[in-house]
Amino acid sequence: MHLTNREGRRQEFYLGRSKATAEKALERYYEEGILPDEAAPEDRSEDRNLLFREWADKWLSRRRAKMTSVAQYEIAVRVHLSPRWGGHRLASIRKAQVEAWVREMEDSKKIANSTAELHWKVFKMITKDALQNGKINANPCYEVEGPYIEKTQPYIFSDDEAWALCDEFPERFAVIPLLGFGCGVRQGEAFGTCTDVIGRKNGMLTVHRQVLRTRRRTTGRCSSTV
């Protein structure tokens, strides 16, 4: 932003990356009767020592998305992002480190495409939120390409394979793969199936709940009929 200095000349000053930040800074300078280069530097020692896990927890506490989405974010942070980045100071994370991490996810055979995509999405949201709240001066994800996501090739079990898999389950849990193969329900929906949703007369299974395991032991709900 260009402002007139004490000598009456136009001078360029940096007031932040957003319009809201610049307006807030201008309001302060007008109130105090100073120019940007005359303002005392803010104490940012607390922000410099802010750990990724600390800001991730604060970010999670402010989410207002669907319950199932928030549950996915929480799992991504707890299971992967915090173990990988939690001990890093937020302000010390660099673009090269993020690029190396993306390559790690691409090369790992233990991480599915969809999982890597979710981890990357949540990490970007956390760092962007930190930038918008003034906790970091630059986003380490800027101009970093996320993990390459290959098209998933579905595999359809044959009847013999499906029954062989069912035979491997303990008798107590054999109904779980049967629900999957016979009704097409997902794992969480199979876990949430109780006798109250089984129509013995009409042969219908009504799926209206699923079980999600999170740190808060939250139970998500969905609506569909099979």
Residue 150 in domain: no
Q: Which of 131, 108, 132 is nearest to 119 (CA)?
A: 108
Q: Which of 32, 27, 26, 20 is nearest to 3 (CA)?
A: 26
User: Of the given ranges (38-42, 55-59, 73-77, 164-168), which has the lowest mean pLDDT?
Assistant: 38-42
Integer Cα distance of 177 and 185 in angstroms: 9
Q: Report pLDDT for 14.
A: 66
SS3 call for 13: coil
User: Of the given ranges (11-20, 55-64, 147-156, 194-203), which has the lowest mean pLDDT?
Assistant: 11-20
Q: In this predicted model, what pLDDT tens digit does every residue of 22-35 receive, in sequence order?
A: 777 777 777 767 66
Residue 75 in domain: yes
Walk across the sheet containing 224-225 and list its strands: 198-199, 204-207, 224-225
Residue 110 in domain: yes
Do residues 117 and 67 share a domain? yes
Do residues 34 and 53 share a domain? no
Residue 178 in domain: yes
Q: Report pLDDT for 223.
A: 38
Residue 78 in domain: yes
Residue 141: alpha-carbon gap to chain centroid: 14
Do residues 191 and 174 share a domain? yes
Assign 213 a pLDDT band (cuts: 50, 70, 90). Answer: low
Q: In this predicted model, what pLDDT tens digit does every residue of 90-148 receive, in sequence order?
A: 999 999 999 999 999 988 888 888 889 999 999 999 999 999 988 888 899 999 998 88
Do residues 199 and 214 share a domain? yes
Task: Residue 14: give the domain boundaries.
Answer: 2-40
Does 17 score more than 70 pLDDT? no
Do residues 60 and 128 share a domain? yes
How many domains are contained in the chain? 3
Task: Kindly report the CATH number assigned to the domain that includes residue 117.
Answer: 1.10.150.130
From 97, 132, 167, the end of a domain falls on 132
Residue 154 in domain: no
Q: In this predicted model, what pLDDT tens digit does every residue of 136-183 receive, in sequence order?
A: 888 999 999 988 877 767 788 888 998 898 889 888 888 888 888 888
